[in-house]
Amino acid sequence: MQLVVARVGRAHGIKGEVTVEVRTDEPELRLGPGAVLATDPAAAGPLTIETGRVHSGRLLLRFEGVRDRTGAEALRNILLIADVDPEELPEGEDEYYDHQLMDLDVVLTDGTEIGRITEISHLPSQDLFVVERPDGSEVYIPFVEEIVVEIDLEEQRAVIDPPPGLIDDNADVASARDDEDSAEAGA
């Protein structure tokens, strides 16, 4: 099975290094020297990691055969894909691979069906579940423990406890203007 483990960012310096947006909880395992990665688009790869280092909090990689800034810039926005045994599980107890979460049913704590996970969006601040609702619309659920209270792989469901307004349009939104309007009306 193939998993996206990173996205190539911009070139760094003049010797062929690139920044990468890491999309794995195990970068030392998936993005170490010698790793051979497939790419999307496929025509750009496969790429073999020659060196890796952290600079100012960002992972920098250099690939075999890429020796200058022009070559590095040509790789920008390419997805790096690792082959992973489908039976392999993440090291952490509360960690999941994207393929484990795809197509899970999403339900509220009371059992109300919300929809099905169709995509996991990896953002810099957090991951989001893209959930397709029964009516075909989509809702975005932040994958944080305050909202996603349980992942049950045996039952193939994700249980959520969303704040008001996250999945419904009927939430009351407090506004400072409401207070001003009522104060003016009473004056």
pLDDT value at position 89? Answer: 65
Contact 92, 78 (CB under 8 A): no
89-110 pLDDT, tens digit each:
666 667 777 778 888 999 999 9
Band (64; pLDDT cuts 50, 70, 90): very high
Q: What is the mean pLDDT of residues 166-178?
A: 58
Band (184; pLDDT cuts 50, 70, 90): low
Contact 117, 153 (CB under 8 A): no
pLDDT value at position 171? Answer: 47
pLDDT value at position 32? Answer: 86
pLDDT value at position 108? Answer: 92
10-60 pLDDT, tens digit each:
999 899 999 998 877 677 778 889 989 999 898 888 999 999 888 888 889
* Burial class (CB within 10 angstroms; exposed 0-12, middle 13-18, buried 19+) of 38: middle
Tell me the CA end-to-end span of the chain in Å, nearest whole number. 68
- pTM above the 0.75 mark? no
Per-chain mean pLDDT for the chain: 83
Question: How many other C-beta atoms are found inside a 10 Å radius of the C-beta of residue 163?
Answer: 10
